[in-house]
């Protein structure tokens, strides 16, 4: 069968050959055995409903074995034989160009070069899934190949509920992931209901098909590192940045450190992902011995090198060793997946990667104790450094939250509302006041032709647009404009593409609309093929996350999720090609609500109309909320937006004289 025929076939009526478990692939850890015997029967029954009855007798024992061996039913047998990668949009079968673009993005999220655990359909973060099993993938791709622009595909946490009649201005796909009743959003609830096959963790951009590899976070991390050094009034050259994690999101840190110009030390316990990042040249050197690492760091300091060093081992050892050897860390953070602490997101110090994976599945209570013990040690080592002047910030991965739950010494001596912890979230100190409040966030695009020359053209267009905007930009946002122009000019030479021909930069509403408008014009003129627009959920408006995206909201509303819900509803009727809303992305199940979109630009007048309507809302919804919280930069930004658009009328806060209080 051709690739197109396999897509159109969907779930085969005859059993394909059994797929052998490939040990060379980076696999998800075994999940805890959380289901009772009756629940296991239900999980198998749920899985079998995707298949015709004559296949059930053969598949039942196979699915039971997967459930016993891995804690989930992935349906490995149904993994496609074709190469999983984003193809040019013309390679996909279908009646709708928008649907073809979504197929392209789904495959990009599962590309072996992009996905963390591709055979388990997990893109990043340890549990951020595009689908829960391969039947869902096959059926979704089949539906997309059949849909017209008068239909909408409805996705229930990885499950394609079906194609429904709609209209051409409606989203082609509406995605929800993990939208639980609030009292059922504890970590074990995810384990249970995911094992039953009725919900999944979409992370931020995995389950919304908008992940573009580590590049998606490189830019934000670069800005964070640059501004962290600015905050301590130090040049990055010769400065030391210590962190951990080389996975889907965290793998961006060494590359970002190199772009910023510092010495980056990033610890990772998983040898496979460490090798992948080294092979991709996202890290320069790998070390397994602490003494050798210390000597190399001192040499790099002396020579003021720009270099990224991976330590294959636990980051707690690095913090402790550097404290003992008096190695001064300038800035520090952590990007292990502590939103998922008991299932592979964080590995305890003092035992091997393999021992941890075994304990995680076979003795989860002991594993939890070991993780919490490690977190206490981790925090204590960080405290030793900060007492000597290190600037430490939480990278929004729930490090401080989980450390506090473990009883670590991370709470502020004099806590205030929104500043409970000893150390700030990076959004509180850096990204919130410097970027999000002004509307700057991670705007991204993908060239559906798959041609590197199209990406180069879009880079040039974006740079030209930003330089033109900068000429008349107010002083308040000049630094943001300079950083982004510098970024886009260096994007090609930094070889950031992994998977699809994609790019990201931080832009405000004006920048996003003008860049998108210029792309659409270039498509119409035949200069480039069609382009998919999107953004990270980690943005101005899309995410309500009290310990990350909205951690610099101090009016008491940071635990509300109205903004994210309004955002996705507003995007859906203003022209998005697809929309998504998730529970749990980035910081943990039950800790955040986050939403995103995708939009296909095809050179048409309809696309031009939609991009102007939707992108303006997508940013200014968040600025208005931040303004109402009395954030100074957001008040400035929303007033500027109202001047530019007479139809925008936002409720502004009246500020209270503090002395009256």
- What is the distance between the alpha carbons of residues 521 and 597, in angstroms, rounded to a whole number? 21
Grouping H, G, I as helix, E, B as strand and the rest as coil, residue 587 is coil
- What is each CA distance from 329 to 253, 320, 565, in whole angstroms? 16, 12, 40
203 is in an annotated binding site: yes
Query: How many residues does the structure list for the chain?
Result: 661
- What is the distance between the alpha carbons of residues 590 and 398, in angstroms, rounded to a whole number? 12
126 is in an annotated binding site: yes
Contact 509, 612 (CB under 8 A): no
H or E element: which one contains 403? helix 399-405
Between 215-231 and 478-490, two packed helices, what is the crossing angle to 10 degrees?
Answer: 130
- What is the distance between the alpha carbons of residues 124 and 586, in angstroms, rounded to a whole number? 10
The three state secondary structure string of 79-124 is CCCCCCCCCCHHHCCCCCHHHHHHHHHHHHHHCCCCCCEHHHCEEE
- Rounded to the nearest angstrom, the gap between the alpha carbon of residue 154 and the centroid of all alpha carbons in its chain is 22
510 is in an annotated binding site: no
- Quick one: DSSP state of residue 345? S
- What is each CA distance from 399 to 123, 379, 423, 501, 523, in whole angstroms? 21, 9, 11, 33, 44
- What is the distance between the alpha carbons of residues 538 and 220, in angstroms, rounded to a whole number? 10
Grouping H, G, I as helix, E, B as strand and the rest as coil, residue 432 is helix
Long-range contacts of 347-356 (CB under 8 A, 24+ apart): 347/269, 347/314, 347/371, 347/374, 348/314, 348/373, 348/374, 349/314, 349/316, 349/317, 349/374, 349/377, 349/378, 350/314, 350/374, 353/269, 353/270, 353/271, 356/269
In the block, residue with structure tokens 């939707």: 614
- Quick one: DSSP state of residue 161? E
Contact 411, 482 (CB under 8 A): no
User: What is the Cβ-side half-sphere exposure of residue 95, based on CA atoms within 13 angstroms?
Assistant: 11
Contact 277, 346 (CB under 8 A): no
- What is the distance between the alpha carbons of residues 531 and 616, in angstroms, rounded to a whole number? 19
- What is the distance between the alpha carbons of residues 268 and 315, in angstroms, rounded to a whole number? 7
- What is the distance between the alpha carbons of residues 509 and 30, in angstroms, rounded to a whole number? 43
Residues 6+ apart with CB under 8 A from 83: none
- What is the distance between the alpha carbons of residues 109 and 94, in angstroms, rounded to a whole number? 20
Burial class (CB in 10 A: 0-12, 13-18, 19+), 156: middle
Q: Which of 391, 423, 419, 432 has its CA nearest to residue 220?
A: 432
Q: In degrees rounded to 5, what are phi and psi of residue 624? A: -65, -40
585 is in an annotated binding site: no
- What is the distance between the alpha carbons of residues 10 and 145, in angstroms, rounded to a whole number? 10
395 is in an annotated binding site: yes
8 is in an annotated binding site: no
Q: Which residues are annotated as a binding site for NAD(+)?
A: 125-126, 203, 268, 395, 586
Q: Which residues are annotated as a binding site?
A: 125-126, 203, 268, 395, 586
């Amino acid at each position: 069968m051709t690739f197109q025929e396999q897509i159109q076939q969907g779930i085969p009526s005859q059993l394909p050959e059994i797929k052998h478990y490939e040990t060379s692939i980076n696999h998800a850890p075994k999940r805890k055995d959380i289901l009772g015997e009756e629940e296991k029967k239900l999980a198998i029954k749920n899985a079998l409903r995707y298949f015709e009855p004559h296949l059930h007798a053969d598949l039942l024992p196979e699915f039971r074995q997967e459930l016993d061996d891995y804690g989930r039913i992935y349906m490995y047998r149904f993994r496609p034989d074709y190469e999983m990668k984003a193809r040019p949009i013309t390679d996909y079968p279908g009646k709708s160009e928008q649907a073809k673009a979504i197929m392209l993005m789904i495959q990009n999220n599962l590309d072996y070069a992009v996905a963390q655990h591709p055979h388990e359909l997990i893109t990043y973060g340890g549990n951020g899934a595009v689908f829960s099993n391969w039947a869902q993938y096959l059926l979704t791709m089949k539906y997309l190949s059949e849909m017209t622009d008068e239909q909408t595909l409805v996705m229930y946490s990885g499950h394609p509920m079906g194609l429904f009649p709609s209209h051409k201005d409606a989203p082609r796909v509406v995605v929800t992931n993990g939208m639980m009743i609030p009292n059922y959003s504890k970590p074990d609830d995810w384990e249970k209901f995911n094992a039953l096959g009725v919900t999944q963790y979409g992370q931020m951009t995995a389950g919304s098909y908008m992940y573009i590899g580590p590049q998606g976070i490189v830019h934000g991390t670069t800005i964070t590192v640059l501004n962290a050094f600015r905050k301590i009034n130090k040049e990055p050259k010769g400065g030391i940045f210590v962190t951990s994690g080389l996975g889907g999101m965290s793998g961006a840190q060494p590359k970002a450190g190199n772009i910023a110009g510092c010495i980056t030390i990033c610890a990772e316990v998983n040898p496979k992902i460490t090798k992948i990042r080294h092979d991709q040249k996202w890290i320069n050197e790998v070390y397994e011995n602490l003494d050798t690492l210390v000597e190399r760091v001192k040499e790099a300091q002396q020579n003021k090198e720009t270099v990224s060093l991976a330590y294959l081992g636990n980051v707690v050892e690095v913090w402790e060793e550097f404290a003992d050897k008096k190695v001064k860390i300038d800035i520090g953070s952590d990007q292990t997946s502590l939103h998922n602490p008991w299932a592979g997101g964080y590995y305890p110090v003092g035992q091997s990667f393999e021992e941890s994976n075994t304990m995680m599945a076979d003795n989860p209570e002991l594993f939890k104790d070991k993780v919490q013990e490690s977190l206490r040690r981790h925090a204590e080592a960080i405290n030793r450094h900060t007492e000597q002047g290190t600037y430490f910030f939480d990278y929004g991965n729930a490090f401080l939250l989980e450390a506090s739950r473990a009883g670590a010494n991370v709470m502020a001596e004099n806590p205030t509302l929104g500043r409970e912890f000893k150390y700030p979230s990076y959004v509180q100190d850096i990204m919130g006041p410097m970027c999000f409040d002004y509307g700057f966030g991670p705007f991204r695009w993908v060239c559906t032709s798959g041609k590197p020359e199209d990406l180069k053209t879009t880079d040039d267009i974006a740079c030209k647009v930003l330089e033109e905007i900068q000429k008349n930009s107010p002083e308040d946002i000049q630094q943001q404009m300079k950083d982004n122009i510098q970024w886009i000019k260096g994007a090609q030479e930094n070889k950031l593409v992994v998977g699809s021909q994609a790019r990201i930069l931080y832009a405000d509403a004006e920048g996003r609309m003008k860049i998108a408008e210029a792309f659409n014009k270039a498509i119409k003129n035949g200069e480039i093929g069609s382009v998919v627009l999107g953004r990270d959920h980690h943005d101005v408006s899309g995410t309500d996350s009290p310990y990350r995206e909205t951690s610099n909201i101090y009016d008491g509303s940071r635990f509300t999720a109205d903004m994210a819900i309004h955002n996705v509803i507003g995007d859906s009727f203003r022209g998005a090609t697809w929309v998504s809303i998730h529970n749990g992305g980035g910081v943990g199940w039950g800790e955040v609500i986050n939403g995103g979109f995708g939009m296909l630009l095809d050179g048409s007048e309809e696309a031009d109309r939609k991009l102007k309507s939707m992108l303006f809302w997508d940013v200014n919804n968040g600025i208005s909320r931040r303004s109402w919280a009395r954030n100074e930069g957001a008040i400035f930004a929303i007033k500027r937006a109202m001047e530019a658009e007479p139809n925008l009328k936002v409720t502004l806060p009246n500020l209270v004289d503090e002395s009256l209080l």
